[in-house]
Copies of this chain bind each other. A is one copy, B any other.
């Protein structure tokens, strides 16, 4: 396999030894869909699996970065190594270079035990479910005890990412019509812990009440099942962060105990495998030639002599031959 001067074993070794530049380089390979990715993932796989993956999602303006920063501080006080992935769905670029990751969370800019990385979540087919788990694997294998994945909860895909974390935190703020927004975006279903940030603002208690009511309407009340708590915070002043940490710990214990953690990790891995497999199949479609090739079939559909389902059938059949 060609490597374009990437020495994968050396890079993986450096990353595991805690070299931030090696970690950054590996995540760049993930983002670029680099040809060495297969080798990278094979090298990382045996060393991954111990990090606690916490998803944070919420609308723009609810205070995701501030809350993430506060949580990083709390985990650092426990002496844990922390990775942060900020996934930006609206940017087709890697945010890494643009936002200046280290500037973004100045509190932890110089802490060698904290890796902070912004990533674009490309809109491409399978892009999301692929790059995020792989970047998590890099941080995990590099010895992060906790990986915080921050996503803007604007679309179904982002919500899905957050829902695949070991523990999902949904952030809201008072007076943003967030209750309805939450219901609309489907984030009610994925929240393990709800945080109402900016709790010093008018309407915080109403937001908490609305949320609790909506949660109670869900079918979560079976015995043994986790009931998502609602915690009030003022993250900018570190108010309520201890309570969030307590809720996170409780969720982790619950999810470990009732098998939910194993199920989610399995689903995350299944999504990743599936994305890789579909991308491989897709590239095969592209190279199929002749009458059963994708372009020939597409021309028939354009002409109206073939319908798209029949065309898809033929394409799939050709794969097997």
* Residues of chain A having any CB pair with chain B under 8 Å: 37-38, 41-42, 44-49, 89-93, 122-126, 129, 133-134, 154-160, 184-186, 262, 265-267, 269-270, 272-274, 276-278, 280-282, 285, 294-295, 297-299, 301-313, 315-316, 319-320
Interface centre among A285, A297, A301, A303 (most CB of B within 10 A): A301
Known A-B contacts A266-B299, A270-B295, A311-B273; the reply to A45 vs B306 at CB < 8 A is: yes
Interface centre among A160, A270, A308, A316 (most CB of B within 10 A): A308
Known A-B contacts A269-B301, A294-B274; the reply to A155 vs B319 at CB < 8 A is: no
A93 touches B269 (CB 8 A): no
- In the complex, what residue of chain B is closest to A270 when comparing beta carbons? B298
- Show 23 residue pairs from A and B whose CB-CB distance is below 8 angstroms, ordered by the A residue: A37-B309, A38-B309, A41-B307, A41-B308, A45-B308, A47-B304, A48-B304, A89-B155, A123-B156, A123-B158, A133-B308, A265-B302, A266-B295, A269-B301, A269-B311, A270-B297, A272-B308, A273-B315, A274-B285, A276-B308, A280-B313, A281-B316, A319-B319
With A45-B301, A125-B126 already in contact, 11 other A-B pairs whose C-beta atoms are closer than 8 Å: A46-B305, A89-B155, A93-B184, A123-B159, A269-B302, A269-B311, A270-B294, A272-B301, A273-B298, A273-B311, A276-B309
- In the complex, what residue of chain B is closest to A278 when comparing beta carbons? B278
Q: How far is the CA of A271 from the CA of B295 in the complex (A)?
A: 10
List the 5 closest pairs (A to B, CB-CB), nearest first.
A123-B156, A123-B157, A276-B312, A270-B298, A269-B298
Known A-B contacts A274-B315, A277-B285, A307-B41; the reply to A267 vs B298 at CB < 8 A is: yes
Which one, B42, B93, B160, B266, contacts A310 given CB within 8 A?
B42
Least Cβ–Cβ distance between A144 and chain B, in angstroms: 15
Is chain A's binding surface mostly helix, strand, loop or mixed? helix
Least Cβ–Cβ distance between A277 and chain B, in angstroms: 4
Q: How far is the CA of A262 from the CA of B302 in the complex (A)?
A: 8
B45 touches A307 (CB 8 A): yes
Which one, B44, B277, B295, contacts A315 given CB within 8 A?
B277
Q: How far is the CA of A286 from the CA of B260 in the complex (A)?
A: 20
Q: How far is the CA of A46 from the CA of B266 in the complex (A)?
A: 44
- In the complex, what residue of chain B is closest to A158 when comparing beta carbons? B123
Q: Which residues of B contact A48 (CB under 8 A)?
A: 304
B273 touches A312 (CB 8 A): yes
Known A-B contacts A156-B124, A273-B294; the reply to A91 vs B309 at CB < 8 A is: no
Least Cβ–Cβ distance between A72 and chain B, in angstroms: 26
Q: How far is the CA of A270 from the CA of B159 in the complex (A)?
A: 28
Q: Which residues of B contact A122 (CB under 8 A)?
A: 156
Q: Which residues of B contact A307 (CB under 8 A)?
A: 38, 41-42, 44-45
